[in-house]
Amino acid sequence: MLALVSGILMFGLTACFDIVEEVHLERNGSGKYAINVDMSSMFKDPFMKGMMAESLQQGGAEADMEKDTMIYFKDEPKLADLDAKDRKVLEKLTMHMVMSESQEKMLIQMEFPFSNVSEIAQLTKALKNMDTGGGMGGFMGSGGMMTPGGEAAFELSKGKLKRLPMPAAEKLEEDENMAFMKMFLESANYKTIYHLPGKVKKASFSNAEVDGSTVTVTHSLLELMEGKAKLDGEIKFKQ
C-alpha cells in the first residue's frame, strides 16, 4: 500500500498541489508533526485522472477511486530492515489517504506524535533509510518534495522554538524534464503552520504571519527546492 501511495504522490508532481506542514507544540515540549498534501486538482484533469487509475491497477489495486485508507507504519514489513532507532521512530508514523472521484478530493495526511521536537529530525532521517519499493523514502528524503531539502530539524528552549537550516540545496539539472517540472510546480506552495502553547512575541521567519499563538509561513515550493527561499528561523512565545 505504501508503494501504491508513493506512485500516486509522484503523479501529483505533475499536477497543481499544495503542501501544508504543521507543528503542534504543547507546554511540556511534546506535540504532533503533520504533513498534508492536497492533490484534489488531479480529478479536474481527465489525463491525470486516467493516469491515476492506471497507477492503481499497476499497483495491484482495482481502479476504484473511492478510498479512505489509514496506514500504520508499525505494520510495514520493511521496518524489519531498519535499525532499532529508525524502527522506533517510524512505528509512531501514520498516513491517512482520502481519494474520492465523486467529491473530486485527493488528500494525504501524515502524522507523527513526538515527546520532544528533536524527534522530527530523526523521523526525516529514518524515512531516507526506508525503501518501500515505490520511492516513498526518496520522496520524503533527500531532495524530497514533502520536506524540501530532506530534513526538518527543530530545537526548543525556554519560550523559543528554533528551526535549523536545511542542507544546501543541490543544483537542479537544467534539461527538458526539469523545465517541464518547473512549469507545473511554479504555482505550488509549501506552507508551515506553527501552533504554539502561548501567545507569540516575535517570529523571525520570512513571510511570517502571526495570529495570537499561531505563526503561518508560506513559500513557493520551487524556490525552496532551488535554495532561493529558506525555512529556518525562530519563534519567541509566552510560556
pTM metric for this prediction: 0.81
Residue 156 has pLDDT above 80, yes or no: yes
Cβ atoms 223, 235 nearer than 8 A = no
Instruction: Give the per-residue pLDDT at 9.
Output: 55
Phi/psi of residue 174, nearest 5 degrees: -85, 105
Which domain range does residue 221 map to?
2-237
Cβ atoms 39, 106 nearer than 8 A = yes
User: pLDDT tens, 104-150?
Assistant: 888 889 999 999 999 999 998 888 887 644 444 444 443 344 566 56
7 vs 20: CA distance, rounded Å: 20
Task: Enumerate helices (H) and strands (E) in the chain, giving the number of each.
Answer: 7, 12
Residue 196 has pLDDT above 80, yes or no: yes
Instruction: Give the per-residue pLDDT at 38.
Output: 86
How long is the chain? 239
- State how many domains the chain has: 1
User: pLDDT tens, 61-108?
Assistant: 555 678 898 989 999 888 888 999 999 999 999 999 888 888 888 888
**Beta-carbon-side half-sphere exposure of residue 57 (alpha carbons within 13 Å):** 7
- The DSSP letter of residue 116 is S
Residue 48 has pLDDT above 80, yes or no: no
User: pLDDT tens, 208-237?
Assistant: 999 999 999 999 888 887 778 889 999 999
Radius of gyration of the chain (CA): 18
